[in-house]
Amino acid sequence: MTSSSAVYSALAPYGWDDDWADAFAPYAAEGLLPGRVVRVDRGQCDVVTAGGTVRADTAFVTPHDPLRVVCTGDWVAVEAGGNPRYVRAYLPRRTAFVRSTSSKRSDGQILAANVEHAVVAVSLAVELDLGRVERFLALAWESGAQPVVVLTKADLVTDPVTLAHLVQDVENTAPGVPVLGVSAHSGDGLDVLRALVGDGTSVLLGQSGAGKSTLANALIGADVMDVRAARDVDGKGRHTTTTRNLLALPGGGVLIDTPGLRGVGLYDAGSGVGQVFAEIEELAERCRFHDCAHESEPGCAVRSAVDGGDLPVRRLESYRKLLRENQWIVAKTDARLRAEIRRDFKRKGAEGRAAMQAKQGRWA
């Protein structure tokens, strides 16, 4: 049996601490080994343990609920031996990054677990899509992690004033979130990013072509992730990373690199949306009506801020879009909420018809 000191020495670089040890104690009494999942592939996973990295089957912990499958970043209890070797359980997650799948059922898909920082990579090789940044940030906040936005390929923006304006645009979109301009090619901004991710676990997120794998290689100091050039026509890349991989950084901290995400669907992320649009939620508290839709209601503080130029129209439209999407996802599994939405649609329809009839009466 591996001693507790040997476990700490081997697993500390991957985030093992006293709280994880306490949570694992019942499994240690059963003779199971602690380890962290560094990769999952077709029902099996690679687990780093005090004795090295082992391959294990996840059949015992693969329930029907897709949010409870073993994923990269999990701390697990794995058998000491056997062929095949099995994961018997995973420890309660501190955080979990979840998105909605692209299926018609809109199931949740867990991308990474036990993450302290969510690094959203956004390429400066193409025009900034602030709406997509807001979408990533909503999922990041909802996970319980601290988001960080990294504007990659900053060396392509040769004018420092232009780069500063781009950073400011994203900062205005991401209240409470650090925004860094980084170039893996020149090294600019890497030291600041290393300091941010040097404590705890970080997950690297973004579209294909955002430069995630190049950034991961720069942080690790070696070419461990495959890299392909993005297309010149639109800056998009192919999926060079096909699985989620957990890597210990040489200066401290752990990085989970992920495949490029084409679809970033919300999954029960109401709190995350509220944090991304904190200024709108604060304004909404000053509206005359508590259920104000911020459209044409009297005494609407949000519309007043838009009319006064203090709140961009794009920002309000993005807020509404993400709220509607999140409400739709939640309603698919909440019958009470579905009924409330139907009643709200009927009420608004009746109000619209009444307003039209009133107008027609005035025109008659």
- Rounded distance between C-alpha atoms, residue 104 and residue 27, angstroms: 38
Say whether pLDDT at 357 is over 80: no
- Rounded distance between C-alpha atoms, residue 126 and residue 139, angstroms: 23
Tens digit of pLDDT for each residue in 213-236?
Answer: 899 999 988 766 555 444 444 445
Say whether pLDDT at 297 is over 80: yes
DSSP state of 181: E
Contact (CB, 8 A) for 244 and 256: yes
Contact (CB, 8 A) for 267 and 329: yes
Which residues, in sequence order, are CB contacts of 67 under 8 Å at separation 6+?
96, 98, 108, 110
Question: How far lies 48's CA from each of 53, 62, 77, 119, 131, in Å?
Answer: 4, 20, 11, 23, 37
- Rounded distance between C-alpha atoms, residue 158 and residue 161, angstroms: 9
Q: Is 94 left (phi over 0), alpha (psi -120 to 50) or beta?
A: alpha
Secondary structure element (H or E) that encloses residue 266, with its range: none
Higher pLDDT, 346 or 11: 11
pLDDT at 325: 82
User: pLDDT class for 155, splitting at 50, 70, 90?
Assistant: very high
Higher pLDDT, 356 or 171: 171
SS3 29: coil
pLDDT at 177: 94
pLDDT at 355: 52
Mean pLDDT computed over 345-364? 54
Say whether pLDDT at 149 is over 80: yes
pLDDT at 82: 83
- Rounded distance between C-alpha atoms, residue 111 and residue 241, angstroms: 13
Tens digit of pLDDT for each residue in 238-285?
Answer: 444 457 899 999 989 999 988 756 556 666 777 888 889 999 999 999
In the chain the first and final C-alpha atoms are separated, in Å, by 90
pLDDT at 98: 84
Secondary structure element (H or E) that encloses residue 23, with its range: helix 18-28
Instruction: Tell me the two tokens of residue 347.
Output: 């009420």
